[in-house]
Structure 1
Amino acid sequence: MRRHNFKNLQIWQESINLITDNYNFTTTLPKDEKFGLISQLNRSCVSIASNIAEGTSKRSNKHFIKYLEDSLGSAYEWETQIIICKNLNFISEEKFDDFENRIKKIQQKISNFIDKLDN
């Protein structure tokens, strides 16, 4: 297996962009959510890109896939938290739709990459 440069991976780049937008969004949440939704949103979003990056250091596709699966799990976790924000009226419909579309694309790309590495 050749090692990947995580900085060149589109899924990592898109995840990094999402982190920036996520952090900008979480500054608008109620301050009493600092140790709740804000913390969870930030940690799960950062975990998406971090697991992709860490996985590129592994010596086999099998091990890399494990980190990609962790990244995918974090993407679903982050999506769930955004849905909670919507249900609590913490996010505009427009911002929710943007985040929802972006995370679904990232999830699909991670899944496709896992499938490619698994063959």
Structure 2
Amino acid sequence: MNHANSFRDLLVYQKAYSLAMEIFHLTTKFPLEEKYSLTDQIRRSSRSITSNIAEAWSRRKYLKAFVNKLTTALGEEYETEVWLDYSRDCKYITDELHCRLISGYDEVRKILISISNNPDKWCL
């Protein structure tokens, strides 16, 4: 059993939240023509990771529902990586920043997969 009292105590939530905030701040410098496409999409997907982790936490009584929400968070994580690729290739972020953010999301992905593969340790 884990020792977290809240989804906010989870390392995966903290890492994903920090990355989402970083994405928010860097996208304030994206071109205005990207406002309703890339900027909105990458902000939405990065924030959705944390919201799905929180929803999963609320469903710990039901193993399948818990894993389902974690799977959704994982999908949002992958989507965020795609938007980061576009951000790099459109020259809105540097290769170095892209690499650092992708590395952070790699950690988030590995933790989400680990929790999903061992839900009995997390569920009530």
Partner of 1:77: helix, strand, or coil?
helix
> Mapping of 1:2-41 within 5 angstroms?
5-41=6-42
The Cα of 1:118 is off from its aligned counterpart by 6.0
Residues in 2 aligned to 1:105 and 1:89: alpha-carbon distance in whole angstroms: 24
The Cα of 1:11 is off from its aligned counterpart by 0.5
> Mapping of 1:1-119 within 5 angstroms?
5-58=6-59, 59-117=61-119
CA deviation map 1:58-98 (0-9, x unaligned): 12121111000000000000000000111111111111111
1:6–1:53 Cα contact (<8 Å) kept: yes
Residues in 1 aligned to 2:16 and 2:84: alpha-carbon distance in whole angstroms: 15
The alignment-based identity, stated in percent, is 28
Residues in 2 aligned to 1:78 and 1:4: alpha-carbon distance in whole angstroms: 28
1:4–1:56 Cα contact (<8 Å) kept: no
What amino acid maps onto 2:66 in structure 1?
A: F
Q: Which runs of 5+ in 1 are unaligned?
A: none
The Cα of 1:117 is off from its aligned counterpart by 0.8
Q: Which runs of 5+ in 2 are unaligned?
A: none
1:52–1:67 Cα contact (<8 Å) kept: yes
1:48–1:71 Cα contact (<8 Å) kept: yes
Residues in 2 aligned to 1:20 and 1:86: alpha-carbon distance in whole angstroms: 18
- Give the TM-score, by structure 2 length: 0.89
1:75–1:107 Cα contact (<8 Å) kept: yes
Residues in 1 aligned to 2:11 and 2:31: alpha-carbon distance in whole angstroms: 32
Count of aligned pairs between the two proteins: 119
RMSD between aligned alpha carbons?
Answer: 1.8
